[in-house]
């Protein structure tokens, strides 16, 4: 057995005989003395081999980086002048007496003993080596501490950790399912859980009262930088608690986590209705670190000749909004062109702007390709509404409401980041009062959260004006990321049927897909609600990482494959036959 981890050695161990086991991080030959930096999961210690112990010296001479070794030796203080204050173990070294090579290593595909820029594909293909790097070890260790802290919090608050099945019927969270063919039920498929939603609700019907699970979820979506096809949720459900109580308790959990792990006090989280978030920030997950806001100007534009603005200003589904960037008049043409391209991603057809150079000169002091179309009165009225000052730039969006909100909302963050406008490091909030439904492009309704979310209104009101109905859902947002979301659920069978009806799910389909839930709601279902946090995203934010893949031990690529195992893979014809599956095209 090892006696110590390398990284744990310090002055207090001087004079002790130790046994270390780990990897050769670096080998140096210094005029007849061999130094091996030995690394394990706790850090690196320097081991010295003198030529007078011939056998171990020769072995030390033969090892190469990443060999696995066992060292027996004596801890001693480093001679004056050789102390390395950069290294946690830099005050000591180990005089190597015995050396055993436990395994050899080929030259690794990238070096670990110095920081090297390595392409992500190489890192992912050799993830087991990549994970040896101290920064990756640190992230995995941090992640483990976070899940441990969460488990402790949950346990202290009376939550039971209960596992729910992976092979399921589809649960609608709005994404595509991963399907698993059933061998025993020809032609039938399991769906991997998009979340444990219905099971956790059923656990409430069973009377467990407080449930949590650190649960794997699967969603077959097109991937963005902060998404993975399989990801981990901290999944929570409670009975007899309303939204205030659920938000209160989970906010306490997150606040405690940040305090314990990062020594950061997030303070009380403000609340913001969804409609306000969309109007002021163009997003249902506003990043409140940046002070800029969207300002509506449609009323000023409705009567002008210029159709690009007047059209959306008069359209009930349109929006015309402005975003003032203090100090932005210095932005070059090239940067403005880049921003124009950027808003294009969100469907904006262009990006109009006005630079405020010398406001005291009136419209003459404005520099812009559009002022001539607006006319001086409108231009100056905009300046007044936006409280423009010399040196500002004002960007405009005019289109369908969704396009303008999304485009200017995203631009707000991009410009804020580019110009270092964040006013604090952490900006949490709760977004509340979400609409129950939204209209799809095809004109049908979908649930904004999921169809099990309780409305704030009666069934009659819901049926009469579904698009006006608000839900009892809430999202926790941090720095523009949705950390978690949940809702009070429907616990009344009639209300659940009403919601299915509004969503255009027929009684037969509801019975076929969710009969078990509708049945359960008949047998004394308590009022209940919960939420789920995205663990990967939480760790990503807490560690200041910008890719979710950096905080997952074995992540998938953006095309949803594993570069190391090369999953998904082709299966044999025999396996397919057994599953009664015939491919339309043979790969």
Residue nearest to ligand ASP (CB): 195
Q: Which of residues 196-215 bind ligand ASP (CB under 6 A)?
A: 197
Strand, coil or helix: what is 480?
Answer: coil
Pseudo-torsion of CA 21, 22, 23, 28, nearest 10°? -60
Q: Is 530 in the site for ligand ASP (CB under 6 A)?
A: yes
Q: Is 22 in the site for ligand ASP (CB under 6 A)?
A: no
DSSP annotation of 551 reads G
Question: How many residues of this chain interact with ligand ASP, rule: CB under 6 A?
Answer: 9
Per DSSP, the residues of 141-170 read HHHHHHHHHHHHHHHHTT-EE----SSBS-
Minimum distance from CB of 531 to ligand ASP (Å)? 5
Q: Is 499 in the site for ligand ASP (CB under 6 A)?
A: no
Pseudo-torsion of CA 275, 281, 286, 290, nearest 10°? -150
Interface with ligand ASP by CB under 6 A: which range of 45-53, 341-349, 481-489, 512-520? Answer: 481-489
User: Of 323 and 488, which has the nearer Cβ to ligand ASP?
Assistant: 488
Q: What element of type H or E holds 459?
A: helix 459-464
User: Of 397 and 486, which has the nearer Cβ to ligand ASP?
Assistant: 486
Q: Which of 532, 539, 548, 563 binds ligand ASP (CB under 6 A)?
A: 532
> Are the beta carbons of 194 and 171 closer than 8 angstroms?
yes
Q: Is 535 in the site for ligand ASP (CB under 6 A)?
A: no
Rounded-to-integer distance, Cα 237 and Cα 159, Å:
9
Cα-flanking dihedrals φ and ψ of residue 342, to 5°? -60, -45
Residue 489 is labelled as binding a ligand: yes
Rounded-to-integer distance, Cα 285 and Cα 278, Å:
9
With a CB cutoff of 8 Å and minimum separation 6, the contacts of 43 are: 5, 6, 7, 8, 88, 89, 134
> Are the beta carbons of 426 and 266 closer than 8 angstroms?
yes
Minimum distance from CB of 532 to ligand ASP (Å)? 4
Minimum distance from CB of 507 to ligand ASP (Å)? 24
Rounded-to-integer distance, Cα 383 and Cα 322, Å:
10
Q: Is 483 in the site for ligand ASP (CB under 6 A)?
A: no
Minimum distance from CB of 207 to ligand ASP (Å)? 19
User: Of 175 and 564, which has the nearer Cβ to ligand ASP?
Assistant: 175
Q: Is 555 in the site for ligand ASP (CB under 6 A)?
A: no
User: Of 240 and 303, which has the nearer Cβ to ligand ASP?
Assistant: 240
Contacts of range 9-15, beta carbons closer than 8 Å, 24 or more positions apart: 9/45, 9/75, 9/89, 9/92, 9/94, 10/88, 10/89, 10/91, 10/92, 11/77, 11/91, 11/92, 13/75, 13/92, 14/75, 14/76, 14/77, 14/92, 15/74, 15/75, 15/76
- Residue 379's CB is within 10 A of a number of other CB atoms, namely 21
User: Of 54 and 242, which has the nearer Cβ to ligand ASP?
Assistant: 242
Q: Is 485 in the site for ligand ASP (CB under 6 A)?
A: yes
User: Of 324 and 472, which has the nearer Cβ to ligand ASP?
Assistant: 472
Residue 219 is labelled as binding a ligand: yes
Q: Is 498 in the site for ligand ASP (CB under 6 A)?
A: no
Minimum distance from CB of 258 to ligand ASP (Å)? 21
Minimum distance from CB of 277 to ligand ASP (Å)? 18
Residue 29 is labelled as binding a ligand: no
Q: Which of residues 158-197 bind ligand ASP (CB under 6 A)?
A: 173, 195, 197
Q: Is 487 in the site for ligand ASP (CB under 6 A)?
A: yes
Q: Is 550 in the site for ligand ASP (CB under 6 A)?
A: no
Cis-peptide, bond into residue 568, ω within 30° of zero: yes
Rounded-to-integer distance, Cα 136 and Cα 418, Å:
28
**Binding site listing:** 173, 219-221, 228, 449, 482, 489, 534-537
Summarize as ranges the residues that interact with ligand ASP (CB under 6 A). Answer: 173, 195, 197, 485-487, 530-532
**Binding site listing for ATP:** 219-221, 228, 482, 534-537
């Amino acid at each position: 057995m090892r006696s110590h981890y390398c990284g744990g050695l310090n002055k207090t161990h001087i004079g002790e005989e130790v046994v270390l086991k780990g990897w050769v991080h670096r080998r140096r030959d210094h005029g007849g003395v061999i130094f091996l930096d030995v690394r394990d999961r706790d850090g690196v210690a320097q081991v010295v081999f003198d030529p007078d112990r011939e056998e171990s010296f020769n072995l030390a001479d033969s090892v190469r980086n990443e060999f696995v070794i066992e060292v027996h030796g004596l801890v001693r203080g480093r001679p004056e002048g050789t102390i390395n204050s950069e290294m946690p173990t830099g005050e000591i070294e180990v005089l190597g007496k015995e050396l055993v090579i436990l395994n050899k290593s080929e030259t690794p595909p990238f070096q670990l003993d110095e920081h090297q820029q390595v392409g992500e594909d190489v890192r992912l293909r050799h993830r087991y080596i990549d994970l040896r790097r101290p920064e990756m070890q640190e992230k995995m260790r941090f992640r483990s501490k976070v899940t441990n802290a969460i488990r402790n919090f949950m346990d202290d608050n009376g939550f039971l950790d209960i596992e729910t099945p992976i092979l399921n019927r589809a649960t609608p969270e709005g994404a595509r399912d991963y399907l698993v063919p059933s061998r025993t039920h020809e032609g039938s498929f399991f769906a991997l859980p998009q979340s444990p939603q219905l099971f956790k609700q059923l656990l409430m019907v069973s009377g467990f009262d407080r449930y949590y699970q650190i649960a794997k979820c699967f969603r077959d979506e097109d991937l963005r930088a902060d998404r993975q096809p399989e990801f981990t949720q901290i999944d929570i459900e409670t009975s007899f608690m309303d939204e205030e109580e659920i938000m209160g308790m989970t906010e306490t959990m997150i606040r405690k986590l940040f305090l314990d792990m990062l020594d950061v006090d997030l303070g009380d989280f403000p609340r913001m209705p969804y409609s306000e978030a969309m109007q002021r920030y163009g997003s249902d997950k506003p990043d409140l670190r940046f002070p800029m806001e969207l300002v509506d100007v449609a009323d000023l534009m409705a009567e002008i000749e210029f159709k690009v603005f007047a059209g959306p200003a008069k359209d009930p589904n349109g929006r015309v909004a402005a975003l003032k960037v203090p100090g932005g008049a210095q932005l070059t043409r090239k940067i403005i062109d880049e921003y124009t391209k950027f808003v294009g991603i969100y469907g904006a057809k262009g990006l109009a702007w006005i630079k405020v150079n010398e406001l005291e000169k009136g419209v003459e002091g404005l520099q812009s390709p559009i002022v001539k179309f607006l006319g001086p009165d409108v231009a100056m009225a905009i300046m007044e509404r936006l409280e423009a000052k010399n040196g500002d730039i004002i960007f405009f969006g005019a289109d369908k409401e969704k396009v303008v909100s999304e485009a200017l909302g995203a631009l707000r963050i991009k410009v804020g980041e580019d110009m270092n406008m964040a006013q604090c490091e952490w900006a949490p909030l709760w977004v509340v009062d979400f609409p129950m439904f939204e209209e799809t492009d095809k004109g049908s309704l979908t649930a904004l959260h999921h169809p099990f979310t309780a409305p704030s209104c009666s069934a009659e009101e819901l049926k009469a004006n579904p698009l006006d109905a608000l839900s009892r859902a809430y999202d926790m947002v941090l720095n523009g990321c949705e950390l978690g979301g949940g809702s009070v659920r429907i616990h009344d069978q009639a209300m659940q049927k009403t919601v299915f009806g509004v969503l255009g799910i027929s009684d037969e389909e509801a019975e076929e897909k969710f009969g078990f839930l509708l049945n359960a709601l008949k047998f004394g279902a308590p009022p209940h609600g919960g939420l789920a946090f995205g663990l990967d995203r939480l760790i990503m934010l807490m560690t200041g990482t910008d890719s979710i893949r950096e905080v997952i031990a074995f992540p998938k690529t953006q095309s949803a494959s594993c570069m190391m195992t090369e999953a998904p893979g082709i299966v044999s014809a025999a396996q397919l036959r057994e599953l009664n599956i015939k491919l339309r095209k043979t790969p």
